[in-house]
Amino acid sequence: MNVKWISHRGESMDAPENTLAAFKLSIDRKTDGMECDVHLTKDGVVVTAHDYNTARMGDFVKAIGKSTFAELAEVNVSGSKINFPKERIPTLASSLQFLGKDREYYIELKSGCPALVPAVQKVLMESGVPCRQIIIISFDKDLLRLSKKTMPEIRTLWLTGFSHENGQAHPDADELIAILREISADGVDAHCDEGGIDAEYVRKVHDAGFLFAVWTVDHPGQARRFIEMGVDSITSNCAAVLRDILNPQ
């Protein structure tokens, strides 16, 4: 099985998303990598969190971009995970301790913040993590262009959220390839829309020299179908469980 299993926001089915506990669980379970979302705090610290505020995961509400890291550290972001009662928003730098030697880290730059690019670059340079282990992902094409310009050695994937169910069809393969070339991306990280993606679609993208990842897949049947299509990686909230179901040792 050549597909890579990427833990979405860490192993977030079992641990609070984007926390050190979730990232640690991903390396303990030996998935092929982990994914996070990053924001910049008021005082310029790169932190891992999905939302622009702490309302959904936290015990009280703070806007990340308008708060210092010290202020955010007061918020418990355990969400509903009762087995992890005291989790805090971590820095991107601290999360790297759970990457390991051979795993990949998909780092999502949240849209609309160009300052994230040099800030993430600084964290990565200071960490000494090999560039081959890092993949920058974003819905924001401008941020991907900027990332590739300033960090050409690090791969970038364009995130897409198209869904037939919402009446938003994926661009066809030729259109997608043109977009990836225009933004100098190394591939696509596509929403798991089986109405718009099939083996031929994936093959065309591969033949053009691009990577093809999908997110977020939590059902083994769907994961198996994407593996049969030939995708390179699958991001899942329960990546280790899917791997063990589909590739039992």
Residue 91 phi, psi (nearest 5) = -80, 155
What percent of the chain lies above the pLDDT cut of 70?
Answer: 98
Across all residues in the chain, what is the average pLDDT?
96
- Give the per-residue pLDDT at 137: 98
CA distances from 4 to 49, 102, 219 (A): 23, 12, 16
pLDDT of 241 strictly over 90: yes
Task: Tell me the chain's radius of gyration from C-alpha atoms.
Answer: 17
Cα angle, residue 43 at apex, residues 42 and 44 outer, rounded to 5°: 95
In the chain, where are the structural domains located?
4-39+105-246
Contact 59, 133 (CB under 8 A): no
* CB half-sphere exposure, 215, CA atoms < 13 A: 23
Query: How is residue 15 written in tokens?
Result: 């641990």
Question: Is residue 61 within 8 Å of 53, Cβ to Cβ?
Answer: yes
6 falls in which pLDDT band (50, 70, 90)?
very high
pLDDT in tens, 7-44: 999 999 999 999 999 999 999 999 999 999 999 999 99
pLDDT number for residue 248: 79
Q: What is the dihedral of CA 176, 181, 184, 189, to 10 degrees?
A: 20
Quickly tell me which residue has 């609309």 as its tokens: 112
Q: Cα-flanking dihedrals φ and ψ of residue 101, to 5°?
A: -80, -40
> In this structure, what token pair is assigned to residue 110?
């949240």
CATH tag, 4-39+105-246: 3.20.20.190
Q: In the predicted model, is pLDDT for residue 104 greater than 80?
A: yes
Q: Confidence class of residue 181 from pLDDT cuts 50, 70 and 90?
A: very high
Taken in order 190, 17, 219, 104, the sign of the CA dihedral is positive
